[in-house]
Amino acid sequence: MKDSNRKFEGFAHNLIAESLKRWAAQSNFVAAKLQERLQYPLDELDVKITEVMFDSQGHIDLKPVPTKYEYTSGDGQVQFTGGKQQQQH
The CA radius of gyration of the chain, in Å to the nearest whole number, is: 14
pLDDT above 90 covers what percent of the chain? 22
Residue 31 has pLDDT above 50, yes or no: yes
Q: Under a CB-based contact definition with an 8 Å cutoff, are residues 53 and 60 in contact?
A: yes
Residue 30 has pLDDT above 90, yes or no: yes
87 vs 13, higher pLDDT: 13
Selection from 19, 77, 23 nearest residue 49 by Cα: 19
pLDDT at 26: 93
Residue 89 has pLDDT above 50, yes or no: no
Selection from 79, 50, 77, 82 nearest residue 65 by Cα: 82
pLDDT at 10: 74
User: What is the 8-class DSSP label of residue 16?
Assistant: H
